[in-house]
Structures are given as C-alpha cells and as structure tokens.
Structure 1
Amino acid sequence: MKLLLDENLSRRLVPMLQAVYPGSSQVDLLSLSGSDDRAIWNYAREHDFVIVTKDDDYLDLSAHHGSPPVVIRLVMGNCSNARVLAALCDRHGAIQEILGRGSSVGVIELG
C-alpha cells in the first residue's frame, strides 16, 4: 500500500514513510500542488494510492464516487510531523487489515 499525502501534510514525511509504505509520495512531489481535490482523487485512483489528508473534502468525493481510492482522514488537528508519522506507522497493520476487507471501505479515520 502506498500513500499519497495531501498538501496539508509535509513532504518531509515521505522519506520516513518509505520503510512501512514503500512508493508513497506527497502531492507537491508529484507536481499536483494547487490541483483541485478531484484531480488528486483521480490521480490517486489511477496510480493505486491511498489518500492521506486532514481535510473533510475527500469525504464528499468518497461518498459520491466510492473507492478506490481509499481516504485516510487524520483527525488530529494541528500536530507535529512526528505525531502524524507515529499514527500512520503504528496503525499500519490495522490499516492493512481494513483495506483487505475489500472495496466497501471508503474512509478510515485516525485520531
């Protein structure tokens, strides 16, 4: 599973995620900075990414279009990169288990 971090998450997280989520990236690193959510959604679907965001916007896209892609919504408020990294890495197994349930999963919330 590879993650696509939204603009609201630091690109500095990407190298630290590679051991657990190889192939992960961030929208700025893929020249998607400033793109609307729909364009990022389509990119994630076409390239088999799971979107990671703090925004609610992707919840609407998930409700209207279903998955893929799956969205991981971080419900953490303003927090450090270390906390985001810990949440994603510590819950890797649980996220994989949820994704293994199939296409009925659209949004995973981590807090």
Structure 2
Amino acid sequence: MTIRLLADENISWRIKRLLTEWDILPVNEIVGIKPLSDMAIWKFAKANDYLILTFDEDFIDIHNLYSFPPKIIWLRTGNINTSIISEQLLLREQKILDFMLNDELGVYEIYL
C-alpha cells in the first residue's frame, strides 16, 4: 500500500524529493501560484484518495464537520525544517499505514 499525501501549502514542495517512495502531491502543483481554500484542498484530497498533511488546525475543524475521508496527518510541531518532517514521517511509516487502514480514525497527530 502506497502512502498518498497531499501536502498543504505551508509544507515545502521539497518534501516530495525526501520521501521518494511515497506518493506526495504538494498543493502548489495543483494550482501553481494561485492559493486554494482549505475546503477546496479537502475536497480534492477526498476525490483523489489522498491523506492531507498539514500544520493547519482548520482541517481539524473541517474534519469535525464532515468526518472523513480524507484522513488528516496533523503536524503539531510548530514550523519545522522539511528534512525533520520527512524523518518523522519515515519513523512513523508503519503507524501511518495502520492509520490508513483503520476505519475508525480520521486524524493522526504528530508531536515533537
């Protein structure tokens, strides 16, 4: 099973180069320079079977209103370096895969 992440605009597109075994789509590749609303990102992720990778608590609010899919990986780390994000995701790869398969969970929180 491949981990498919839609990386929110606050996460550098460089994460795609660091997690080459994963299917990562930075939001800026969808729209170029035009920003998308959080709801548009949520709808895109749902329609295209992506998990949302974000620092943004607004996605939790959307999740609370509409549930899932899409599932959300919420980085509760503050603004950190992209290489640290990728390292932390790789350390949790099996837990993320388990989260993807769990029909009862919609949000996976990562704290540092």
TM-score, normalized by the shorter chain, greater than 0.5: yes
- In the alignment, structure 2 segments of 5+ residues that lack a partner are none
What does 1:1-80 correspond to in 2, within 5 Å? Answer: 1-19=3-21, 21=22, 23-31=23-31, 33-80=34-81
Runs ≥4 residues deviating over 6 A = none
Distance in 2 of aligned mates of 1:72 and 1:98 = 10
Distance in 2 of aligned mates of 1:48 and 1:15 = 21
Distance in 2 of aligned mates of 1:49 and 1:78 = 22
Matched, 1:92 2:90: no
Give the secondary-structure state (helix, strand or coil) at the position aligned to 1:74: strand
Task: Say what the alpha-carbon RMSD is for the aligned residues.
Answer: 1.2
Deviations 1:6-45 (A, max 9, x none): 00000011122121x1x21100011164110000000000
Residue identity (%) = 30
Comparing 7-16 and 26-35, the one that deviates more:
26-35
- In the alignment, structure 1 segments of 5+ residues that lack a partner are none
By how many angstroms is 1:65 displaced? Answer: 0.6
2:51, 2:72 within 8 Å by CA — same for their partners in 1? Answer: yes
2:18, 2:83 within 8 Å by CA — same for their partners in 1? Answer: no
What is the aligned residue count? Answer: 108
Distance in 1 of aligned mates of 2:20 and 2:47 = 20
Scaled by the length of structure 2, the TM-score of the pair is: 0.91
